[in-house]
Amino acid sequence: MKKILVVEDESSIRSFVVINMKRAGYDVIEAESGEEALELLSKSPDVKLALLDVMLPGIDGFELCRQIRAQSPAMGIIMLTARTQEVDKVTGLMTGADDYVTKPFSPTELIARVDALFRRLGGEGPADVTDIISGPFALNTRNRTLTKDGRQIRLTQVEYTIMRLFMENIGKALSREDILTGVWGRDYYGELKIVDVNIRRLRIKIEDDATNPAYISTVWGFGYKWGT
C-alpha cells in the first residue's frame, strides 16, 4: 500500500489534500502539527512519503522536515509553500525536501507531484550492475546509496537520482533541462531553479570544497558536468 502522511494545521486545506490523495489511491494518515506528525511516524514505519505544510504552530515545516530526514533518509518529502514565500522553496530544499508545491494548488498538480516522487522512490527494478564507480565515489543502484572513499554520504532520493544521472554520463555536459527531465520527469511543472538548488546542496555533501567544486563542474549558460 502506498502510504502518505499529510501535515497541515488548517483543517479545510488538510481535508482537501486528504480527500484528493485518497481518491488518487493513496492510504493517508494526517496530523495537524509537527509534534503529532513525529508521533504518528514513530508508530507508522510504512509511511513512504510526507506532505508538509511550512507554516505550522509549534515546530514549523522546515524543522519537521529536518527531523524526519534525520530519522528516515529514504522518505519522500514534499513541502506545501505559500506563493508569497519564494524563499520557502529554497529553504525547504536545503533542509532536505525532495520537492515543493505552491499554494493554491490544483488536485491534478498535487497528485502529479506525489505520483512522480513515488515513481522515483520505487527504484528502477533489478539491475545487472549494482555499483557505478567514479573516482572516490561508488553508487550502489540496488540499495540507492553513495559512498566516497568508502564512507557513506546520506542523500535524498532526488540527490541520489542526480548522482546516478551524472555517474552514468561521466564527462558529458548535461543541460539543466536534461537534468530536470531526467530527475523530475517530463510531466514536471517546476522551474529550472530547482536543479541549481539541488546541485548546490549536493556539492555541500560530496565536494571537498563546495565553493571550488572538483566533481560537479558548472558549464556556464548550459548546465553541469560530472568528472573526477
Comparing CB distances to Ca ion, the nearer of 7 and 138 is 7
Q: Which of 3, 9, 16, 188 binds Ca ion (CB under 5 A)?
A: 9
Q: Which of 24, 38, 40, 55 binds Ca ion (CB under 5 A)?
A: 55
Comparing CB distances to Ca ion, the nearer of 11 and 217 is 11
The interface mask with Ca ion, positions 62-101, x = CB under 5 A, is ----------------------------------------
How many amino acids of this chain bind Ca ion (CB under 5 A)?
3
Q: CA separation (Å) from 138 to 28, 117, 153?
A: 36, 24, 10
At 181, is the secondary structure helix, strand, or coil?
Answer: helix
At 56, is the secondary structure helix, strand, or coil?
Answer: coil
Comparing CB distances to Ca ion, the nearer of 53 and 88 is 53
State yes or no: residue 115 binds Ca ion (CB under 5 A): no
Quote the least distance from Cβ 27 to Ca ion, whole Å.
23
Burial profile 53-75: b = 16 or more Cβ within 10 angstroms, e = fewer: bbebeebebbebbebbbeeebeb
- Of 34-53, which residues contact Ca ion (CB under 5 A)? 53
Q: How many other C-beta atoms are found inside a 10 Å radius of the C-beta of residue 212?
A: 8
What are 195's three cell numbers? 536543479
Query: Distance between CA atoms of 221 and 36, rounded to whole angstroms?
Result: 45
- Of 134-173, which residues contact Ca ion (CB under 5 A)? none
Q: How many other C-beta atoms are found inside a 10 Å radius of the C-beta of residue 156?
A: 23
Comparing CB distances to Ca ion, the nearer of 33 and 147 is 33
Binding site for Ca ion (CB under 5 A): 9, 53, 55
